[in-house]
């Protein structure tokens, strides 16, 4: 139903120049760098991956967009098939294609690396992608050594690979929440609502919802909001853990790490107003908050209870922090009885 070819063309246009170009960091041995990073991540996190991480792949923006649209297609097509067929559905497929391409293209302008994982398709192998043009541009903007920035990003993405192969239940837990969210979507159109002009209080209520959580929350009913909250909490833990580990495991080998961290945080904050508005409307800024809240939680737990204390979150799905606990690590410690872990172990 969705015009995925159109989505690719839109994504490429929005993302701008592909810029795959010359080798990263003057042809540094990325495989060797990734191997060293994996050893350090495993030693620090004490998570034991069941298999080696996939090879690092430097790609341009187009390849990154194609990979993510492929994952999006596997997620959305079964959902949209429930609409059936007809002129309205065909028009909707074009609109979804344009929107999907626009969102992926917009994100493709800034993403540095990605552990690309198709949650709903276990047969599809994960990939570790490095978006070469964005890394080059970020290194220039940060006034940073490109090889050092590259290694720092690799620490982050390798951590994701270790998480998903070292925590046996994690992938299926996220997939189950995603399936639950998709199953909750109902395509219902109230003719009277279509014909009625919205009242002023309706517009104000919608805008307040968008300001609070983006369009994702604005179009979700109470049932879906609860699922989204659980999914966002899990993703905040995953992203925050990777942010914590990339700093902690990389500190000994990355002399400019404080400067890199400061530059990255400034890059996330200092965006043009239009970009900030688009992120807000689309709910993409939620991912930025995931990095911040999740890292702050992991930093606090490790500071007081050590890595083993934090690893209690990876013991079982019910021990992951919820959204409230991410802002209050002490409440998570009390609920999960992290006191049984020796501080600083």
Return averaged pLDDT per consecutive 10 residues of the chain, 345 residues in all.
87 83 80 97 97 95 93 83 60 77 89 94 94 93 94 97 97 93 64 43 47 48 78 92 96 95 84 57 60 93 96 97 95 83 46
**pLDDT for residue 194:** 37
Cβ atoms of 249 and 40 within 8 Å: the answer is yes
pTM summary value: 0.84
Among 164, 146, 310, 171, residue whose Cα is nearest residue 244: 310
8-state DSSP, 55: P
Give CA–CA dist 311/79, Å, rounded: 35
What distance in Å separates the CA atoms of residue 67 and residue 73, rounded to the nearest whole number? 10
Q: What local confidence, expressed as pLDDT, does residue 268 receive?
A: 73
Q: Is 84 left (phi over 0), alpha (psi -120 to 50) or beta?
A: left
- For 255, the token pair is 């002399």
DSSP state of 53: P
Distances (CA, A) of 81 to 28, 92, 237, 286, 322: 45, 12, 32, 28, 33
Q: What tokens does 310 get?
A: 């934090």
pLDDT at 279: 57
Q: Which residues pair with 130 in a beta bridge?
A: 58, 113
pLDDT at 92: 63
Could you give the 3-state DSSP secondary structure of residue 312? Answer: helix
Backbone φ, ψ for residue 24 (5° rounding)? -70, 145
Give the 3-state DSSP-derived string for 123-188, with helices as H, strands as E and coil as C. Answer: CCCCEEEEEHHHHHHHHHHHCCCHHHHHHHHHHHHHHHHHHHHHCCCHHHHHHHHHHHHHHCCCCC
List the end-to-end C-alpha distance of the chain, in Å, as a whole number: 54
Sign, CA dihedral 32-34-35-37, equals positive
Residue 114 CB coordination number (10 Å)? 22
């Amino acid at each position: 139903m969705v015009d995925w070819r159109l989505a690719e063309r839109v994504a490429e246009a929005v993302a701008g120049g592909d810029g795959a170009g010359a080798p990263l960091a003057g042809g540094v041995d990325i495989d060797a760098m990734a191997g060293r990073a994996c050893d350090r991540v495993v030693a620090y996190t004490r998570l034991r991956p069941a298999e080696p991480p996939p090879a690092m792949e430097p790609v341009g923006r187009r390849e990154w967009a194609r990979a993510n649209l492929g994952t999006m297609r596997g997620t959305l097509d079964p959902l949209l098939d429930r609409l059936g067929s007809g002129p309205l559905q065909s028009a909707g497929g074009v609109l979804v294609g344009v929107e999907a391409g626009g969102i992926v293209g917009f994100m493709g302008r800034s993403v540095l690396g990605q552990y690309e994982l198709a949650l709903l398709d276990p047969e599809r192998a994960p990939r570790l992608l490095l978006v070469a043009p964005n890394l080059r541009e970020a290194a220039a903007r940060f006034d940073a050594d490109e090889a050092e920035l590259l290694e720092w990003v690799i620490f982050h993405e390798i951590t994701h690979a270790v998480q998903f192969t070292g925590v046996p239940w994690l992938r299926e837990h996220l997939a189950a929440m995603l399936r639950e969210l998709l199953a909750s979507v109902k395509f219902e159109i109230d003719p009277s609502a279509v014909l009625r002009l919205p009242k002023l209080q309706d517009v104000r209520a919608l805008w307040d919802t968008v300001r609070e959580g983006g369009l994702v929350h604005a179009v979700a009913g109470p049932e879906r909001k609860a699922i989204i909250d659980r999914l966002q909490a899990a993703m905040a833990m995953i992203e925050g853990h990777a942010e914590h580990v990339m700093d902690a495991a990389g500190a000994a080998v990355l002399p400019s790490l404080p400067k890199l961290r400061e530059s990255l945080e400034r890059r996330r904050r200092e965006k043009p107003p239009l970009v900030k508005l688009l992120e807000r409307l689309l709910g993409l800024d939620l991912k930025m908050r995931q990095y911040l809240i999740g890292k702050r939680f992991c930093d606090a737990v490790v500071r007081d209870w050590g890595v083993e204390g934090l690893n209690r979150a990876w013991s079982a799905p019910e021990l992951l922090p919820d959204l409230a606990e991410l802002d209050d690590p002490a409440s998570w410690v009390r609920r999960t009885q992290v006191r049984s872990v020796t501080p600083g172990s």
